[in-house]
Copies of this chain bind each other. A is one copy, B any other.
Amino acid sequence: MNEQEFLKQYDQQHYPRPSLAVDMAVFSVIRQETGNYRKLPEQKLSVLLIERAEHPFQNQWALPGGFVLPNETVETAARRELEEETGIKETDLRQLHIFSEPERDPRGWIISSSFMALTEITQSLSSCKDAKQAKWFTCTYTTLEEQTTQETESSYQILQRNKLTLQRNDMELTAVIEVKQTLSLYNRKTTYTVVENTGLAFDHAKIIACAITALRNDLERSTDAFRFLPETFTLTDIQQVYETILGKKLLTANFRRKIAPYVIQTNRQTTARGHRSAQLYKRNKTAFLGKQILQVTHEA
């Protein structure tokens, strides 16, 4: 039999196949007024969730997502579903991870190609038949407990209990995720296990946890932080984005020296309130050019 004949008689139907879905963790940083006229608005990392219109997990909150169709790449499907379910376009979706645990979806063997995206909150949100509504939830992910054990002479284990909290108005969705990292000389393995979960559909708590971890790890060696900001911004704006995501305070003088190459001063200023007004800056596009090569995203 030659290749042509082989291909003619080959029938995919004869082989077990999963359904293929995409799930998108879209992040933004939103500002919440503090009430104190002197103080700047507080910034919060937020993630975009939809309320599911259909079974399973009807009426629960989930990441936007859906099934990949024939003649689509996963990237195309992700962009299509994101626009259908939330109205968001023009984001830079990047592949995060494949989740393929056989039990992850009650409907059967459905694997998820997950994506993450960073965006400014400007685009208005819409919905569709699969999603009653799409809304931003503020998002905290902190470590409750951490413990390091030396398993054998050459193998360590780090065990964390992390808490994910998603909030919107008076609604609160929480999950506790156990992260186990096993480090040996020739191997390194990280497992995420959702041990408690209220209100989030599927294994989406796990996907969000992975996405936040990736975001934090990449932040300092990428220019991702700028994606959360509008065209012009103050140096304090960008510093607060870093502080919000990394969860720690940075020294202003040092931070400014570090990002100086990536920004260009404009001739405009903020209108201040109770304190000195700030210069507005914009991205230094040429500096971005050299840096971004380091962080490669693949697309079909």
Chain A residues in contact with chain B, CB under 8 A?
Answer: 1-3, 6-7, 10, 12, 15-20, 55-58, 67-75, 90-92, 95, 97-102, 106-111, 113, 148, 154, 156, 158, 181, 183, 185-192, 210, 213-214, 217, 221, 226-227, 283, 285, 288-289, 292-300
Contact = CB atoms under 8 A, between A and B. Distances in A.
B189 A296 contact: no
A300 B186 contact: no
Contact of A69 (B16, B69, B91): B16
Given A19-B12, A101-B73, A188 B92 contact: yes
A57 B17 CA distance: 22
Nearest to A286: B156
A98 B100 contact: no
A218 B144 CA distance: 30
B74 A190 contact: no
Contact of A15 (B15, B19, B185, B214): B19
A3 B58 contact: yes
A156 B20 contact: no
A187 B187 CA distance: 35
A192 B73 CA distance: 14
Contact of A296 (B18, B213, B227, B289): B213
Contacts of A288: 183
Given A56-B3, A68-B100, A73-B100, A190 B299 contact: yes
A199 to B, nearest CB: 15
A223 to B, nearest CB: 9
A110 to B, nearest CB: 8
A57 to B, nearest CB: 8
Contact of A106 (B7, B15, B189): B7
Quick one: which of A57, A69, A226, A296 has the most chain B CB within 10 A?
Answer: A296
A148 B289 CA distance: 10
A113 B283 CA distance: 36
- CB-CB nearest 7 A-B residue pairs: A6-B55, A17-B17, A73-B100, A74-B100, A92-B187, A71-B102, A189-B299
Contacts of A92: 186-189
Contact of A192 (B113, B292, B298): B298
Given A56-B7, A67-B15, A70-B102, A181 B95 contact: no
Given A12-B109, A74-B111, A183-B289, A190 B97 contact: no
11 contacts: A6-B56, A7-B55, A18-B70, A68-B100, A72-B100, A181-B293, A185-B226, A186-B227, A190-B299, A192-B298, A217-B296
